């Protein structure tokens, strides 16, 4: 049940029982608010380099997004050999403004479409994990249906000439600026609204330092529309993920418009990344047990990540292939396809095994797994995928990251930004989750680490 619905006085009370019921509800709500205030965790341990690191990342992330467009575009791609002469970067293409009405209309129009679609399209109802006060929130999950609605609306709109997907190329920078502005504005709203009464705060985002808390996110599950619209789950799954796919397809459409064909490397990246997006939306309930939803508050880190970083930097490979002809032999293409298949097999196998085990440990597909019983009450899997290393799902994800970059050929390092950045992110994320698990499980986590020795890559790390 949504937090606000839990707090709302009962409207079903009738006649003489009404006053008693209202008093009882008010007392419950008041004591629940007091409990929340009492239980509101104070952050005692900084991550990301503390307030200075958080502030630096808050400023730097948009600059990295612009830099990738500045360093690699239709006018050229970064060349280290020219660095000393100052000509290493092509700069922003002249006909691509940093801000335009068309770009703003496209970006905000897309956001408006997804907000309305998420609100009106029916979805499955799933309960999240237990909150600190023992209650669980119910989530509406309809990301896959929003994707389907986007496909239908896109087909109709394109046929009718209302919009041209290829225009994302010329509007790329101005759409980026529009979304950067939106991400800062949303984060400011999230920070300010987290001070309202009765909010459940994230353990890591309540340090009292404004720059740090703004970045990490104070409130765990901010909701609007009387609790019916969960902002974090919506942003995690819908506008950014589907927006990323649209950018990829837009670059493919632009290639078709330019040369009358879509190249094999472009098709590969679109298919691989499209499969990743579809997989995430098809397995939507799995998001509810991820660190982002269960542990992190909703602040700039996730808002910017979801709305800007994912679509505008993850689409770099398609943008690169559009601007730079890449030719690969059939043997290369087959090898890259094999890398993608292996990565997906590991990634999906591991995530599904854990989800299945957490949902129904008696399911025949996971019943045989060896486990470690913990004092916390839950079991940790120590065989199967989760016996290979502690974050074998990250390993699968990273293998796929290679398959998304390799179609860009070997002329430039810039399109390999994703696989490099993602490797760093996953090492850092493994460390964060390890610390969180040590806190959750205490000595049991140490026992688990003694059994499953490697973090991300068996026998290496």
DSSP-assigned letter for residue 144: H
Nearer CB in complex with ligand NDP: 89/244: 244
Nearer CB in complex with ligand NDP: 268/328: 268
**Residue 390 in tokens:** 């502690």
Which residues ranging from 287 to 326 are in contact with ligand NDP (CB under 6 A)?
290-291
CA distance 290 to 286: 7
Stretch touching ligand NDP by CB under 6 A, among 22-30, 117-125, 158-166, 434-442: 434-442
Nearer CB in complex with ligand NDP: 100/378: 378
Measured over the CA atoms of residue 440, residue 443, residue 446 and residue 451, the dihedral's sign is negative
CA distance 128 to 122: 18
Nearer CB in complex with ligand NDP: 405/437: 437
Please name every residue paired with 127 in a beta bridge, in sequence order, or none if there are none: 138
Stretch touching ligand NDP by CB under 6 A, among 90-98, 141-149, 179-187, 429-437: 429-437
Could you tell me the smallest distance in angstroms from the CB atom of residue 336 to ligand NDP?
Answer: 18
> Which member of 180, 216, 437, 456 binds ligand NDP (CB under 6 A)?
437
CA distance 251 to 337: 21
Could you tell me the smallest distance in angstroms from the CB atom of residue 137 to ligand NDP?
Answer: 16
Nearer CB in complex with ligand NDP: 252/381: 381
Which residues ranging from 342 to 371 are in contact with ligand NDP (CB under 6 A)?
347, 351, 354, 358
Residue nearest to ligand NDP (CB): 290
Asked if 378 touches ligand NDP (CB under 6 A), the answer is yes
Nearer CB in complex with ligand NDP: 323/397: 397
- Taking the CB of residue 330, how many other CB atoms lie within 10 A of it? 8
- Taking the CB of residue 169, how many other CB atoms lie within 10 A of it? 23
Asked if 232 touches ligand NDP (CB under 6 A), the answer is no
DSSP-assigned letter for residue 227: T
Could you tell me the smallest distance in angstroms from the CB atom of residue 358 to ligand NDP?
Answer: 6
CA distance 240 to 236: 7
Nearer CB in complex with ligand NDP: 214/347: 347
Stretch touching ligand NDP by CB under 6 A, among 44-52, 149-157, 407-415, 436-444: 436-444
Could you tell me the smallest distance in angstroms from the CB atom of residue 203 to ligand NDP?
Answer: 13
DSSP string, 231-275: HHHHHHHTHHHHHHHHHHHHHHHHHHHHHSS--HHHHHHHHHHHH
> Which member of 6, 126, 429, 447 binds ligand NDP (CB under 6 A)?
429
CA distance 114 to 150: 8
Stretch touching ligand NDP by CB under 6 A, among 148-156, 164-172, 180-188, 433-441: 433-441
| Contact map string, positions 379 to 408, toward ligand NDP, x by CB under 6 A | -xx----x----x-xx--x-----------
Nearer CB in complex with ligand NDP: 47/433: 433
Asked if 417 touches ligand NDP (CB under 6 A), the answer is no
Q: What are phi and psi of 137, to 5 degrees?
A: -90, 150
Q: How would you label 194-231 residue by residue, b for 16+ Cβ within 10 Å and e otherwise?
A: beeeebbbbbbbbbebebbbbbbbbbbbbbeeebebbb
Could you tell me the smallest distance in angstroms from the CB atom of residue 14 to ligand NDP?
Answer: 42
3-class SS of residue 307: helix
- Taking the CB of residue 428, how many other CB atoms lie within 10 A of it? 12
Nearer CB in complex with ligand NDP: 186/380: 380
Nearby residues of 444 by Cβ (< 8 Å), 6 or more positions away: 372, 374, 375, 376, 380
Nearer CB in complex with ligand NDP: 115/449: 449
Stretch touching ligand NDP by CB under 6 A, among 25-33, 64-72, 319-327, 376-384: 376-384
Helix (H) or strand (E) holding 126: strand 124-127
DSSP-assigned letter for residue 351: H
3-state secondary structure labels for all residues of 148-198: HHHHHHHHHHHHHCCCCHHHHCCCHHHHHHHHHHHHHHHHHHHHHHCCCCC
Distances (CA, A) of 85 to 77, 79, 91: 15, 11, 15
Could you tell me the smallest distance in angstroms from the CB atom of residue 374 to ligand NDP?
Answer: 8
Beta strand residue intervals within 325-366, DSSP E = none
Helix (H) or strand (E) holding 223: strand 223-224
Which residues ranging from 261 to 290 are in contact with ligand NDP (CB under 6 A)?
290
Stretch touching ligand NDP by CB under 6 A, among 59-67, 209-217, 237-245, 432-440: 432-440
Question: Where along the sequence are the contacts to ligand NDP (CB under 6 A)?
Answer: 290-291, 347, 351, 354, 358, 378, 380-381, 386, 391, 393-394, 397, 429, 433, 436-437, 440
């Amino acid at each position: 049940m949504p937090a606000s619905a839990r707090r709302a006085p009962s409207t079903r009370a009738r006649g003489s029982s009404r006053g008693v019921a209202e008093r009882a509800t008010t007392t419950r709500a008041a004591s629940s608010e007091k409990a929340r205030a009492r239980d509101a965790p104070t952050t005692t341990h900084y991550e990301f380099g503390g307030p200075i690191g958080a502030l630096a990342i808050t400023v730097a992330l948009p600059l990295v997004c612009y830099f990738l467009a500045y360093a690699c575009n239709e006018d050229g791609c970064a060349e280290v050999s020219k660095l000393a002469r100052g000509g290493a970067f092509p700069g922003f293409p002249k006909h691509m403004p940093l801000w335009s009405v068309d770009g703003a209309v496209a970006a905000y129009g897309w956001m408006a479409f997804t907000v309305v679609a998420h609100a009106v399209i029916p979805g499955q109802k799933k309960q999240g994990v237990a909150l600190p006060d023992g209650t669980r929130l119910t989530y509406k999950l309809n990301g896959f249906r929003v994707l389907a609605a986007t496909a239908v609306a896109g087909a109709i709109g394109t046929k009718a000439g209302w919009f041209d997907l290829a225009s994302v190329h010329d509007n790329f920078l101005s759409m980026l600026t529009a979304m950067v502005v939106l991400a800062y504005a949303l984060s400011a709203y999230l920070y300010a609204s987290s001070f309202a009464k009765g909010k459940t705060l994230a353990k890591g985002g309540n340090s009292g330092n404004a720059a740090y808390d703004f970045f990490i996110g104070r409130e765990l599950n901010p909701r609007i529309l009387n609790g019916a619209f969960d902002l974090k789950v919506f942003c995690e799954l819908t506008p950014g993920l589907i927006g990323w796919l649209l950018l990829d397809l837009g670059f493919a459409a632009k290639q078709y418009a330019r040369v009358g064909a879509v190249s094999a490397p472009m098709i590969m990246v679109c298919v691989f990344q499209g499969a990743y997006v579809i997989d995430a939306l098809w397995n939507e309930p799995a998001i509810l047990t991820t660190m982002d939803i269960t542990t992190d508050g909703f602040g700039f880190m996730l808002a910017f990540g979801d709305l800007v970083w994912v679509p505008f930097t993850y689409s770099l490979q398609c943008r690169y292939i559009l601007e730079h002809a890449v030719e690969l032999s059939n043997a290369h293409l087959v090898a890259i396809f094999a890398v993608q298949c292996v990565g997906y097999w590991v990634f999906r196998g591991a995530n599904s095994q854990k989800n299945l085990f957490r949902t129904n440990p008696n399911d025949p597909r996971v019943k045989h797994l060896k486990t470690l019983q913990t004092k916390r009450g839950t079991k940790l899997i120590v065989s199967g995928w989760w016996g290979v290393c502690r974050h074998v799902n990250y390993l699968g994800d990273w293998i796929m990251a290679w398959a998304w970059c390799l179609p860009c050929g070997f002329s430039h390092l810039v399109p390999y930004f994703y696989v490099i950045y993602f490797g760093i992110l996953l090492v850092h994320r493994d460390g964060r989750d390890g610390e969180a698990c040590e806190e959750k499980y205490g000595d049991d986590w140490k026992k688990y680490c003694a059994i499953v020795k490697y973090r991300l890559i068996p026998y290496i790390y």
